[in-house]
Structure 1
Amino acid sequence: MIKRIVAGAVIVVVIILAFKFCEFKKGDESSLDYNTNLIQQQIVNVGKLVVTEGHYSEVVTYKNQQKYMMNMLSFEKKALIIVNADVTVSYDLHQMKYDIDEANKTITIISIPKEEIKISPDIKFYDVEQSQMNPFTGDDYNKINKSVKTNLAKKIEKSSLKSNAQNRLISELSKILILTNTMGWKLQYDGKVIENEKDFATKVKL
């Protein structure tokens, strides 16, 4: 009788320990799922359109001359052009590609989208001089518009607009870095473990 009681008590203890062990394992798995979901949500929050805006103004003089009769007769047209342009440099982080390695607690950024530069010029003509033999046409306006955009693109390259846009990009990406550091995960990009914002600044030269 005593043996049966002891055997029963042992079985009960074994069942309780097994139940506790299962609960412990279940808690680990739930924690891992929570961590992964939190990281994915943070990446979704970062995945947005980062836009940096600028404004440029310039004055352009346009001239064109048509010659006739072996250059003995010419007709000139010209205009003073005022250009005001809004420029945006943007990164669509919805297009960022990444991989989450749960087993090794590592996030790898595979690719970051290139910047998109949009130039929206407002062109106004003043002091227009033309003749019936050489009037302003659609070709002139297209040529002027193309020339203005080309010139503005060169100015943007020499300005701080692109670098400011990159700084904002790095600031957004660093939100992922802060989260991974807090949760004990690693963040990798371009074959390197990203440990601080300076590492991003070195790597993110798009």
Structure 2
Amino acid sequence: MIKKIIIGIIVVAAVLLLFKYCDFKKDNEDDITYNTNLIQQQIVNVGKLVVTEGHFSEVITYKNQQKYLMNMVSFEKKALIVVNADVTVAYDLHQMKYDIDEKNKTITIVSIPKEEIKINPDIKFYDVEQSKLNPFTGDDYNKINKSVKANLAKKIEKSTLKSNAKNRLISELSKILILTNTMGWTLQYEGQVVETEKDLGQQLKL
């Protein structure tokens, strides 16, 4: 009789432990699912177009000469060109690729889109001089437009516009870093752990 009672107690205890284990496992799974959803939502919030704007101006003198009769006669055209350009440097974070490892509580940034630079110049001509034998043509305007954009590209490289855009990008990505740190997850990029915003800038090579 006592033996049956002991066996019964053991069976009941085993059943209770089994239920408790199942509840614990369920709570664990619910917690992982909640954390994963929260992280995915944060990435969605970060996944937007980060745009930094700048304005540049320059003055160009354009000259072209057409020669005839063994270079004895020439016809020149020239103009003073004033350029005002709005420039944007953008990172489309909708294109960012990432991987979430729920088991190891790790987010890996797989790739970040390259910056997109858009130059919108407003070109105005002043002091235009031309002749019927050497007038301004579509080819001249194409050359001028190409030259303007090349000069502006050099100015952009020497300016702080691109670095400002990169700082804004890091600021956006830091929102993911803050959340992972708060939740006890790990953020990685190219096999390295990102622990601080400074790490983020260095490891993303920005």
For 1:193 and 1:11, locate their aligned partners in 2 and report how far apart those are by CA, in whole Å: 47
1:57 aligns with 2:46: no
Question: Which position in structure 2 is the counterpart of 1:27?
Answer: 27
Question: Which position in structure 1 is the counterpart of 2:151?
Answer: 151
Q: Where do 1:117-132 residues align within 5 Å?
A: 117-132=117-132
Which has the higher mean CA deviation after the structures are superposed, 152-161 or 100-109?
A: 100-109
Amino acid at match of 2:74: S
Q: Where do 1:93-172 residues align within 5 Å?
A: 93-172=93-172
Amino acid at match of 2:93: L
SS at 1:177 equivalent: helix
For 1:14 and 1:114, locate their aligned partners in 2 and report how far apart those are by CA, in whole Å: 58
Contact 2:81 2:125 in 1 (8 A): yes
Quote the offset at 1:38 in angstroms: 0.8
TM-score, with normalisation over the residues of structure 2? 0.93
TM-score, with normalisation over the residues of structure 1? 0.93
Amino acid at match of 1:146: K
Contact 2:189 2:204 in 1 (8 A): no
Q: Deviations over 1:113-160 (max 9, x none)?
A: 111100000101111111000000000000000000000001000100
- Shift of the 190–13 alpha-carbon distance from structure 1 to 2, 3 Å rule, reads closer
% identical aligned pairs: 79
Question: Which position in structure 2 is the counterpart of 1:90?
Answer: 90
For 1:16 and 1:157, locate their aligned partners in 2 and report how far apart those are by CA, in whole Å: 69
Contact 2:170 2:201 in 1 (8 A): yes
Quote the offset at 1:6 in angstroms: 7.5
Contact 2:194 2:203 in 1 (8 A): no
Contact 2:47 2:94 in 1 (8 A): yes
For 1:138 and 1:128, locate their aligned partners in 2 and report how far apart those are by CA, in whole Å: 15
For 1:85 and 1:56, locate their aligned partners in 2 and report how far apart those are by CA, in whole Å: 5
For 1:10 and 1:68, locate their aligned partners in 2 and report how far apart those are by CA, in whole Å: 113
Amino acid at match of 2:144: I
Q: 5+ unaligned residues in a row in structure 2: which ranges?
A: none
Question: Which position in structure 1 is the counterpart of 2:42?
Answer: 42
Question: Which position in structure 2 is the counterpart of 1:177?
Answer: 177
1:77 aligns with 2:77: yes
Q: 5+ unaligned residues in a row in structure 1: which ranges?
A: none
Quote the offset at 1:21 in angstroms: 2.6
